[in-house]
Structure 1
Amino acid sequence: MKSNRFHKQLCAFLVTAACMPQAHADAKKMWVQGSWVNIRQSADMNAKVIDHLSTNTPVFLIAQKDKSCEISWGISGHGYIPCKFLADQVLVFADVATENSSPEKAKNYSPTRAFWIAPSMRGLFNAGKYFQENLLKPEQLNLENGSVQDRPEPQRPPKLIRYSVPEFEAMKEMMNKGVIAPVVAFAPLFSCEQMQEAKRRQVGSSKDEFTRSSNDWSAPDAEKYPYSYIYAHDCLVPEIPKLSLPKIKVSYFKDVQKVLPGNTQIEEISAKFGIVERGSVTGSPRWALDYDTYRYTGAWDIGSYTLTLDKPVYEHVIGRTGLVAVYRWLPGIDEEPFGPSASCEEGLRNQRNGKELLSGYPKVKDALLWFQSATPLSFRTAKINSRAYLAPARSLKEGEEQRGIKKVVVYEVDLDGDGIADFVQWDMWGEPEISGPSPLLTLRQIFININGVWHPFERDSYGECT
């Protein structure tokens, strides 16, 4: 029964012929709308529960009696479901997975339904947080959410109350057996033109409005991809107007699904490269010190979690001298859901992952940029051209310093030797926000040529600690 239940859960998000419900004469095709709905043996709402169906499971409506609907699904499934949990169309993932949206859309937020539509570790944690906020008694929830200070006098944190939730156990079981993270949760790679058009719609089309340095616009369709952070970059540097990306033609990269930035997170790798991810619970929730306040960490009864991919990926490292190395690595992370944030590493944040150098590739110690692919590319060398641009001086008031970007070093990388740039990297030097007057490499922006069009590919910024 357990194996059959998992097959039906799997069918909720894998559309295959073997999973499609069997039609009855005059039966109407519908979809389950609840997140984990009891299926009963008869129309009596107190009848024995024989199974559960999750969001967007396709079924056939055979008959309706009062508030109970007789349905069939899968190969031989048959039972009764409350009619209120059926609809004649599927739920859209972004509609139920987006928490911070307009008030009208926010009412549709349902992390449990989002998980069943598109299972993932992120979805599992969000569902755990939902159970935490909705299953505890109000007094216990208030107790756990109360302030527990470390200073001036430490207080004893209250006991965390957790218990087994069948739906959450089924979610954890599905993740343990393995899923491919949902590609619908992660944004595609937008082009410079798409970014500029999004900015033009949001801040205006006049030259002064468009070229000014502004953070009050967002990437196109950002609300459709709730698990993505999309850096809005219009491929311009206001401090250096003459800086622009070179004109290009189609070169090596032709498919946005074949290449990912060097610091792509594990679930996006799973989604974009189609690699199965598997997760397991490794610890229970705990109280942790976050700055000067204790708070609980975890997602319901998950305190720590390990996620791994079934297949390795390949990190391609391009050195400043033009050497290209390929390192094989198997993505895996240990996560503490909603854990403490009291940590800081100063400097540029992006880190390489690969350790196992493939045979026949040169060692690269002076890495310029790196990217991921599902298979190793054959290049051992690349052609690199570099040049620098200085920000023009401007009139300053007495005592005022010229802030912002002061210099940009441009690297053009021709990976396949056809004379057309495949990557451009902008290393931007300027004043840090807190420390310094010494100029630092404060921002690094990488662009990729896909099908003859520039796309913002990756960003790395200088972080400061106080």
Structure 2
Amino acid sequence: MWTHHRSGASVLALSVVAALASTSTLAQGPAAGTPQLAPAKVRYVQGSWVNLRESAQAQASVLAQVPANTALDQLAERDGWCAVLYRGDARLGPALAAPLQAHVSCNLLSDQPLTLAQAGKDAARAFWVAPSPNRLRTYGNALPRPTSLQISALTKTHPPEAPVVYPVRPEFEAAKKLLRAGVLLRPDQEINRGEPVDPLVDLKLATRAVDHIPAVAPLATRPVLPAIAPSYFRTHASVALLHETDADGLAAVAGTRISVVPTGAPHGSFNRHMGPEIEFVTGFWDVGSADLTFAPALTLHAITHQGLVGARALRQRYWDISNADHYCGGHYPGKGFDDPREDDTVPVRGYARLSDTAEVLARLVVPGKLPPDAVKVKTRRYVTSWMQPADPPIRDKPQRKHTAVMVHEIDVDRDGVADILRIDTPAPGGMSFEPVFDWRWYLNINGQWFRAGYRVDQECT
């Protein structure tokens, strides 16, 4: 029975003692006729880097700090404070040798773990809900910069290429430690292809004169898509194209552990043709450069125009976190994993050895490995053209340029149903008026087409 002169903290402490005693009794087994008490209730931390305190007071000493979704055993509750047992968190390191008894504000706990949707735009909580390299980067970019380290101040005080030193943040240090050790990702959290589409909706040809370029001639025949039905890829988790996602999505589908290994400090830099004042700082927070590693290695498959299947293994790769704006040339406007270099990868035995000049239509990752047998590829050509203006001495007078929309149908299992579609659409280059192509990929997921990335070309000065 509570007495009126006991404080909330002392009352809560007595409750904890009773709860611990009942826990011990339960462990030994209840005596005959003794009612069984409910075990400690599991609660989940909802805040980010929450303080576990020595007593039920806001000024009490901090015994530990834990991230969102840490599981705690709640022993008692009074006046907005919860007495808990903390046994450790695998994301932070090994389990504790003995449970830590502490107190935490009850409004920071919930009966259910946070989801990504609930974390919303809180970058720190989103990271701990679903740790990944991309969410680590978002988290680092969201940390508030001291006034002296904001870009407006750095442009006046900081020489290019000199290191930019940010203060140490314990929670971010814990996040970096977790990512250095490596994490397994879930495909549903990394791959989002939206709703099914009709690929022809994305087929856009020039329809009016631009900068004195006459309109593109209509296609000789409107493209016809192959019949679609459920075939090789039955779920979104069964494939990822390098053209639609980055390392996180590829690692998630492959089921390989991905790690972030910092290799350098941030430094001020500027875009090409600009400067000498710096315009941005490389990396995110105190990670200026980094490598991504994969264990086991990612197997990157390539399918050529002739239907050959190649495969190369990738264990480690430089992570492009320079923060420089895209300058010009071919690129993925959204996510995309640039084609691997020969010196980044090693060939996988049992697959075709593709030459450097082989025309690769698609690169992909699957759980396990793609069958090495040749796939079936059918390419359909739909002619179009435009007028190129006179440009002496290259062209003395206007000249019609003939080209075509190309529709590539890739049948992975040779069952007569296309599993991957690539549509190459030409447009006049901004300077030469020669064709530059947009490539768009689509995946047949259980009998429906889904967008799976695109690449655009650009003429550069």
TM-score between both structures, scaled by the size of structure 1:
0.70
> Deviation digits for residues 394-429 of structure 1, max 9, x if unmatched?
9xxxxxx999x9731122223323222222222212
RMSD of Structure 2 on Structure 1 (CA): 3.8
1:6 matched residue in structure 2: none
Q: Secondary structure at the match of 1:302?
A: coil
Q: Are the structure 2 counterparts of residues 313 and 24 from structure 1 closer, same or farther at C-alpha, using a change threshold of 3 Å?
A: farther
2: CA distance between counterparts of 1:279 and 1:309?
9
Q: CA deviation at 1:458?
A: 3.3
Q: Are the structure 2 counterparts of residues 148 and 374 from structure 1 closer, same or farther at C-alpha, using a change threshold of 3 Å?
A: same
Q: CA deviation at 1:351?
A: 4.5
The list of structure 1 runs, each at least 4 consecutive aligned residues, that deviate by more than 6 angstroms after superposition, is 347-350
Q: 1:175 aligns with which of 157, 176, 179?
A: 179
- Counterparts of residues 18-417 of structure 1 (less than 5 Å): 25=38, 28-74=41-87, 76-97=99-120, 109-133=121-145, 136=146, 138=147, 140-141=148-149, 144-146=151-153, 148=155, 156=159, 160-190=164-194, 192-193=196-197, 242-263=222-243, 264-290=245-271, 291-292=274-275, 293-294=277-278, 295-336=280-321, 339-341=323-325, 343-346=327-330, 351-353=338-340, 355-365=345-355, 366-369=358-361, 370-391=363-384, 407-417=404-414
Q: Secondary structure at the match of 1:115?
A: helix
Q: CA deviation at 1:255?
A: 3.3
Q: Is the 8 A contact 1:386 1:412 kept in 2?
A: yes
> Deviation digits for residues 33-54 of structure 1, max 9, x if unmatched?
2110111122233333222221
Q: Are the structure 2 counterparts of residues 36 and 420 from structure 1 closer, same or farther at C-alpha, using a change threshold of 3 Å?
A: same
Larger radius of gyration: 2
Q: CA deviation at 1:141?
A: 4.4
Q: Secondary structure at the match of 2:58?
A: coil
2: CA distance between counterparts of 1:402 and 1:312?
51
Q: Are the structure 2 counterparts of residues 85 and 374 from structure 1 closer, same or farther at C-alpha, using a change threshold of 3 Å?
A: same
Q: Secondary structure at the match of 2:143?
A: helix
Q: CA deviation at 1:123?
A: 1.9
Q: Secondary structure at the match of 2:270?
A: strand
> Deviation digits for residues 190-216 of structure 1, max 9, x if unmatched?
4534999xxxxxxxxxxxxx89969xx
TM-score between both structures, scaled by the size of structure 2:
0.70
> Deviation digits for residues 316-336 of structure 1, max 9, x if unmatched?
222222322222332533343
Q: Are the structure 2 counterparts of residues 324 and 45 from structure 1 closer, same or farther at C-alpha, using a change threshold of 3 Å?
A: same
For structure 2, which runs of at least 5 residues remain unmatched after alignment? 1-26, 28-35, 89-98, 206-216, 388-397
Q: CA deviation at 1:451?
A: 2.4
2: CA distance between counterparts of 1:271 and 1:56?
21
Q: Is the 8 A contact 1:119 1:182 kept in 2?
A: no
For structure 1, which runs of at least 5 residues remain unmatched after alignment? 1-21, 98-108, 197-209, 215-237, 395-400
Q: Secondary structure at the match of 1:243?
A: coil
Q: Is the 8 A contact 2:233 2:444 kept in 1?
A: yes
Q: CA deviation at 1:160?
A: 4.1
1:447 aligns with 2:442: yes
Q: CA deviation at 1:30?
A: 3.3
Q: CA deviation at 1:155?
A: 7.4
Name the aligned partner's letter for residue 359 of structure 2. Answer: A
Q: Are the structure 2 counterparts of residues 391 and 362 from structure 1 closer, same or farther at C-alpha, using a change threshold of 3 Å?
A: same
Count of aligned positions: 380
1: CA distance between counterparts of 2:295 and 2:435?
44
1: CA distance between counterparts of 2:175 and 2:218?
50
Q: Secondary structure at the match of 2:104?
A: strand
Q: Secondary structure at the match of 1:330?
A: strand
1: CA distance between counterparts of 2:407 and 2:137?
41
Name the aligned partner's letter for residue 80 of structure 1. Answer: H
Q: Is the 8 A contact 1:276 1:310 kept in 2?
A: yes
1:431 aligns with 2:428: yes
Name the aligned partner's letter for residue 363 of structure 1. Answer: R
2: CA distance between counterparts of 1:350 and 1:306?
14
1: CA distance between counterparts of 2:106 and 2:152?
37
Q: Is the 8 A contact 1:260 1:372 kept in 2?
A: yes
Q: Is the 8 A contact 2:330 2:456 kept in 1?
A: no
Name the aligned partner's letter for residue 176 of structure 1. Answer: R
Name the aligned partner's letter for residue 43 of structure 2. Answer: M
Name the aligned partner's letter for residue 122 of structure 1. Answer: N
2: CA distance between counterparts of 1:332 and 1:178?
14
Q: CA deviation at 1:175?
A: 1.1
